Amino acid sequence: MRIMQLAHQYLPEYVGGVEFYTQWISRALQQRGHEVAIFYRLSAEGEGLRSRVEEGVRVWAAWSGMLTPVRRFWATFGDAALLRTFAQVLDETQPDVIHVEHLMGLPAALATLAQQRGIPFVITLWDFWWVCANAQLLTNDSQEICDGPRAYLNCARCAISRIERPGLWPALPALALPLAWRNRLLRQVMAAADRLIAPTPFVQNWYAEHGAPADTLVLREPALEVSAPSEARQKERQPSPPTGGREGGGAGAPLRFAYIGGLSWQKGLHVLLEAFSGVEGAAELWLAGDETFDPAYVSQLRALASPEVRFLGRLSRAQVWEALAQVDVVVVPTMWYETFSFIVSEAFIAGAPVIASRLGPVADRVRNGVDGLLVAPGDVRAWRAALQRLIDDRALLAELRGNVQAPLSLNMHVNQLEELYAELI
């Protein structure tokens, strides 16, 4: 098969779960003898197109000016330069099927072009961008979880708050119009897709309730490329020797908690740090993530951090696995509906239980009291109690660790994708 992966952004300029997933499945499909190409948008001055080959995968980077939040929004309505370059790549690669990982910052007309050429395409619903311009269902003004558009007036309020232009409040009804138009275009793309892939049952149900065609919605759990230490080594790992644990923390080695991911408000790290600052006993907290993305928030986190908190900075893939081999518990204090959360999979592969917010898809993946603990999102006291519970009860920690099950393998996931692509072709 000739397969194209269509993404809003890609490595090395952009680093995240969707970008790594696109790389993982593209290389795996290439190794199975398929011809795989990746097309993504680059943020750069002017217009252009260039390609490179990575382990047999042809990667096409197209650009049409620097991407700002405003330009990213308006790109959905059209971009002649990107449409031309995409048509050029289609002419050269002649894909049998297109897998849309994301269309943010790309014109909706790319999907229309694929449809006009008779190329089947599937979409993975990695977030809520297809309905929510914020993508995360979090309001910009009150920072609360939203259930979707309400005559698009709430969407316009979010937009005004995001761009910090209070003078636009009188224009609220007028601003709702382009947001409604945007969603109309994206609904048309979803309706034209041959399959809509939901990574979790929560996402599948949410989109079905918000107008996505139920007959094309399918559930496929994503998987990741693994280069972790052996399972046996993980199961045998003992808490690390004391290294600066809190004075008076009691006998034994400090329990090591770790957060690995984005350092931004919606990840709930301020809640985690405030909770951790009040625990008693020997414990450490490692925080790993890019500190340049939101420096103001990182400064807030450092101000909240106790001496037992370590900031590791941005980790390479190898360093992620090295860190997971040295921790006891992974924490996911998210404040929004994480549609999948690869770190949960990575924790389980490494044999570590997870403490996570009882919220959306993450709550679907962590079994409370079996392979982790679920905690009310944003509740400092509840998070402190959960952390303290594992610090005090090492037997419970061992029980949770013993119940951890490895998630779906990349090989099995790619089998599912191959079957799906072949069915459509």
Give residue 246's pLDDT: 30
Task: Dump pLDDT digits (tens) for 65-123.
Answer: 999 988 999 999 999 999 999 999 999 999 999 999 999 999 999 999 999 999 999 99
Interior CA angle at 420 toward 418 and 215, to 5°? 170
Give residue 160's pLDDT: 81
Nearest 10 degrees: Cα torsion 5, 11, 15, 17 = 30
Over range 174-188, report the average pLDDT.
94
Over range 280-300, report the average pLDDT.
96
Task: Dump pLDDT digits (tens) for 326-358.
Answer: 999 999 999 999 999 999 999 999 999 999 999
348, 406 contact by CB (below 8 A)? yes
- What is the reported pTM? 0.91
Give residue 157's pLDDT: 87
282, 250 contact by CB (below 8 A)? yes
> With 90 as the cut, is the pLDDT of residue 236 above it?
no
Name the segment(s) of the chain with CATH classification 3.40.50.2000: 2-165+174-223+409-424, 231-403
CATH of the structural domain 2-165+174-223+409-424, one choice from 3.30.70.360, 3.40.50.2000, 3.30.70.1380, 3.30.420.10: 3.40.50.2000
Which range, of 37-51, 168-182, 208-222, averages the lowest pLDDT?
A: 168-182
> With 90 as the cut, is the pLDDT of residue 144 above it?
no
Instruction: Kindly report the three-state secondary structure assignment for every residue of the chain.
Output: CEEEEEECCCCCCCCCHHHHHHHHHHHHHHHCCCEEEEEEEECEEEEEEEEEEECCEEEEEEEEECCCHHHHHHHCCCCHHHHHHHHHHHHHHCCCEEEECCCCCCCCHHHHHHHHCCCCEEEECCCCCCCCCCCCCECCCCCCECCCCCCCHHHHHHHHHHHCCHHHHHHHHHHHHHHHHHHHHHHHHHHHCCEEEECCHHHHHHHHHCCCCCCCEEECCCCCCCCCCCHHHHHHCCCCCCCCCCCCCCCCCCEEEEEECCCCHHHCHHHHHHHHCCCCCCEEEEEECCCCCCHHHHHHHHHHCCCCEEEEECCCHHHHHHHHCCCCEEEECCCCCCCCCHHHHHHHHCCCCEEEECCHHHHHHCCECCCEEEECCCCHHHHHHHHHHHHHCHHHHHHHHHHCCCCCCHHHHHHHHHHHHHHHC
> With 90 as the cut, is the pLDDT of residue 2 above it?
yes
Task: Dump pLDDT digits (tens) for 240-289.
Answer: 333 333 333 334 689 999 999 999 999 999 999 999 999 999 999 999 99
Higher pLDDT, 231 or 33: 33
Give residue 143's pLDDT: 82
What percentage of residues in the chain have a pLDDT greater than 70? Answer: 92
Quote the CA–CA distance of 241 and 392 in Å, as a whole number.
Answer: 17
* Helix 394-403, helix 380-392: angle, nearest 10: 100
Give residue 234's pLDDT: 42
Q: Does domain 231-403 have CATH number 3.40.50.2000?
A: yes
Quote the CA–CA distance of 199 and 222 in Å, as a whole number.
Answer: 6
The strand order across the sheet containing 283-288 reads 309-313, 283-288, 255-260, 329-332, 354-357, 372-375
> With 50 as the cut, is the pLDDT of residue 233 above it?
no
What percentage of residues in the chain have a pLDDT greater than 90? Answer: 82
